[in-house]
Amino acid sequence: MDFIMPTNTLNKNDQVLVTGATGYIGGRLVPILEDLGYSVRCFARNSESLESKVSENTEIIAGDMLNAESISRAMKGVHTAFYLVHSMGSAKSFMDLEKECASNFASAAKSAGVRRIIYLGGLGESSKKLSPHLLSRQEVGAILRESEVPVIELRASVIIGSGSLSFELVRSLVERLPVMITPRWVSTPSQPISIDDVLQYLIESIELPNYEDIIVEIGGAEIMSYGQIMQEYARQRGLKRLMMAVPVLTPRLSSLWLGLVTPVYARIGRKLIDSMRYPSIVNNTTALNYFHVRPSGVTDAISKALSDEDKDFAETRWSDAQSSSGPIKHWGGVRFGPRLLDMRSISVPACRQEAFTPIQCIGGRQGWYYGNWLWQIRGFLDLLVGGVGIRRGRKHPEFINVGDTIDWWRVEAYEPFERLLLIAEMKVPGRAWLEFQISEKGNQTILTQTAIFDPVGVGGLLYWYALYPLHNIVFAGMINNIGRYIREHTQADTQQQEGL
């Protein structure tokens, strides 16, 4: 999506502060602000994780929303401040944490003379009973307005985008469950909105001409329930799903169920479901009066999310996407959203170029460094079911270009001496990738090998888990033999140079 630059522009020295820059919304907003030429400052607890994700012109300040002094330091010289933090994942009283964070932020903004606060909250009718989560979201907006700094509060319905919490929930349920026993909250009406439309609202908020408090309800072009969203996702993925509504599943039971079959663990699931029980529909025209955005519908939002998912995946390093607390371990690899990963890393005594050499030559006559006869059998079985098999080999024994075939794989992404991403063209109940990355940590060179599988339905899950014991042997042998190859050739080169 091409983002529209507001007609008015801030002074080039005016800072735009983004809190929550390591989160889903903030992480997408920062590069857009950079591309539009804004002077960006990020405030984050885990500032190190941002260094490789922002431009060299973007300032990063480490701090905590519960530490008033660090917020005041980040506010100096700021013209516009984005409040995009959220405490829903906390095991403690998230409502108390939300209030304390908002109070600290509001006080620091007032003292620093900030001209505008932009806050993304949740959509729900204030006059009716709300879930603790939605109530907390609206209370945060009220606390920010008490600062006397003009606040633009965007209240969004369900956000649909690759990697968003709601989209991951829908996708996991639909992909894994051909038959779903659904509670009443699945039929609650909402107004889902695309992540691209949310980001455009945030961008346009920066330079609205009026400096006053406004609350803007934002949603997509259609009113749909979660059940209808799931049916539309299933339609676009070519899946038939049966949904049977029952009135007995409580939010607690539903949240525990979500924790078993989706990436959403029970604590967040409970808060999410509590909010899903209440309609999230736009009831005023404020957005039309203030903004140029004309949101898309659910069909387009889901289609865009699916296409962006593949694009983001091809351009994103999986190791960067892991949370700071580490991956979720379970039998069969790592669960990352609905995708399943087998990730392995080793340290090798070589420079980037030397470490990447065996990766660049993989497949074809060179083979796969372990169990080549197993790869041959798998290729033969693929041929029997109408697949491409392993007979294609590779175009050149050393050189690689995006789009080249390597046996039953095709090169999807390639960065010399850094990364090779292969997508499988074999017959499997899902989509599969194999990725190799070279990185440096201190004086060490790290080789990371990741097998990724995106299963379709229950058949895809059964396929992965049935073959995982064999994959475990093959993938372990492959990376270990690649490491041995690197060490042997590096040692041979060293001996040769010493002999000269």
Transcribe 387-454 into DSSP letters: --TTTT-BS-SS---TT-EETTEEEEEEETTTEEEEEE-S--SEEEEEEEEEEEETTEEEEEEEEEEE
Residue 474's pLDDT band (cuts 50, 70, 90): very high
* Spatial separation of the C-alpha atoms in residues 474 and 301, rounded to whole Å: 39
Same domain, 303 and 389: no
Same domain, 336 and 280: no
What is the per-residue burial (b if ≥16 Cβ within 10 Å, else e) of 112-125? bebebbbbbbbbbe
- The pTM of this model reads 0.66
Same domain, 186 and 289: yes
Query: Average per-residue pLDDT in the chain?
Result: 80
Q: What is the mean pLDDT of residues 63-90?
A: 84
pLDDT at residue 89 in the model: 46
Please state the domain count of the chain: 2
Same domain, 186 and 294: yes
Tens of pLDDT along 250-297? 555 555 555 555 544 444 555 566 666 777 888 888 899 889 999 999
The range of the structural domain enclosing residue 407 comes to 319-499
Whether residue 38 has pLDDT greater than 60: yes
Tens of pLDDT along 173-191? 787 778 877 777 788 888 9
DSSP 86: -
Residue 49 lies in a domain: yes
- In this structure, what token pair is assigned to residue 407? 């046996």
Q: What is the percent of the chain with per-residue pLDDT over 70, rounded to a whole number?
A: 79
pLDDT at residue 265 in the model: 42
- 89 compared with 356, residue with greater pLDDT: 356
Same domain, 165 and 61: yes
Same domain, 90 and 170: yes
Q: What is the mean pLDDT of residues 82-96?
A: 68
* C-alpha R_g of the chain: 25
Tens of pLDDT along 137-166? 888 889 999 988 999 999 998 899 887 777
pLDDT at residue 328 in the model: 35
Q: What is the mean pLDDT of residues 229-249?
A: 82
Last residue of a domain, one of 252, 283, 309: 309
Same domain, 265 and 291: yes
Whether residue 414 has pLDDT greater than 70: yes
Whether residue 362 has pLDDT greater than 90: yes
